[in-house]
Amino acid sequence: MHKHPYFRIFFFSLISLFPLISCSNSKVSKEKESTSLPVPVMAEVPSLISNNEAAHSYLAQHFWDNTDMNDTLYLQNPKALSGFFFKYLQHICHGDSSVAANSLKEWTKKVLESPRNMQDFMLDLAENTLYDPNSPARNETLYISMLEVLSADTSLMPVIRQRYSEQLHIAKQNRPGYKANDFVMVNSKGKKSSLHNFKGKHTLVMFYEPYCPACEASLDVLNNNKTFEKASQALNLLAVYTGDNLQEWSESTGKFSPVWNVAHDLEMEVTTKRLYDRRPSPSFYLLDKNHVVILKDGTTSQLISILDKLNKQPSL
């Protein structure tokens, strides 16, 4: 997809200014930006709606009513247009999940009917916000609702439509509440097994790269965290490399303490069969005793938060 020329300049600086996208409680704001450049204006909430939750629900359905997607003048002020989109996400994530999904589907259909430069900008913005591994507002569930529309739209070029179809396939893998995909691995001692062979306990899988600074930093956090120390006694701990440089993998196994099972994907199934999304590194998957996913592609902070709750249960 063509990138808007100004997009990368301001995207990650802008997104840091919108913490409310994470769905923390907030009140509906009717403030309008004042600028000489064109800015989109969100729909007004009817005065009869006084309940904040109902207001969010209303805006999920009507937020873009006053914004003409065919007006490419909005692209002269990309910062305002991006901010408007982030504000939209803030509102839809406060309502019912089905309302949010339907809202984003309708928004995607509107975008697909807009001029090509507007279409490129908005779809790129949504992808980088909701799907980029480094985005603090990443939300795979919302992005799936978009992908269901995009992958089925015959007006898109076949190569672009195929790309969205591939994203949809990988995004739907290993969703929380579903059984994790199995694959064969071999550990540092040469023992062959599969993910589903680890039974009797919850299983933590850390997908990592041998010389990844972020991986080493995450491991250091876990090694010095009391919550993880307590939980680890009742977990199967797997550190899995999915690449093909086995020399680097072999050299890196010593970074893990003996409580970890350090292994590599024996037949490259994770990559070739696209069993897991391996864009971020590290990424953590927490599975229950039946290998049902509790946490998908989580961060260290998300993992520790869940482990803290599990530690308080009678038996992990």
User: Which CATH number goes with the domain that contains 222?
Assistant: 3.40.30.10
Residue 153 domain-assigned (yes or no): yes
71 has a pLDDT exceeding 80: yes
- Same domain? For 107 and 11 the reply is yes
Residue 94 confidence (pLDDT): 80
- Same domain? For 166 and 257 the reply is no
Residue type, 182: D
- Same domain? For 166 and 21 the reply is yes
242 Cβ neighbours under 8 A, 6+ residues apart: 207, 264, 265, 268, 270, 271, 276, 278
- Same domain? For 215 and 115 the reply is no
Last residue of a domain, one of 131, 149, 171: 171
Residue 93 domain-assigned (yes or no): yes
- Same domain? For 118 and 163 the reply is yes
Question: What percentage of residues in the chain have a pLDDT greater than 70?
Answer: 88
Residue 316 confidence (pLDDT): 64
9 has a pLDDT exceeding 60: no
Mean pLDDT score, 203-231: 95
Last residue of a domain, one of 104, 137, 171: 171
- Same domain? For 225 and 148 the reply is no
- Same domain? For 134 and 264 the reply is no
- Same domain? For 57 and 158 the reply is yes
- Same domain? For 13 and 43 the reply is yes
Mean pLDDT score, 219-227: 96
Residue 220 confidence (pLDDT): 96
Residue 8 confidence (pLDDT): 41
pTM: 0.82
* Phi, psi (deg, nearest 5) at residue 295: -125, 125
> Structural domain of residue 73, as residue ranges?
7-171
Residue 294 confidence (pLDDT): 97
Print the SS3 string covering 168-204: HHHHCCCCCCCECCCCEEEECCCCEEEHHHCCCCEEE
Higher pLDDT, 86 or 34: 86
Q: Domain count of the chain?
A: 2
- Same domain? For 164 and 218 the reply is no
What's the pLDDT tens digit per position in 90-137? 888 887 888 899 999 999 999 999 999 999 999 999 999 999 988 988
What's the pLDDT tens digit per position in 158-192? 999 999 999 999 999 999 999 999 999 999 999 99
Residue 177 domain-assigned (yes or no): no
- Same domain? For 90 and 14 the reply is yes
Last residue of a domain, one of 171, 198, 217: 171
Residue 16 domain-assigned (yes or no): yes
- Same domain? For 33 and 135 the reply is yes
Residue 264 domain-assigned (yes or no): yes
Residue 103 domain-assigned (yes or no): yes
Residue 316 domain-assigned (yes or no): no
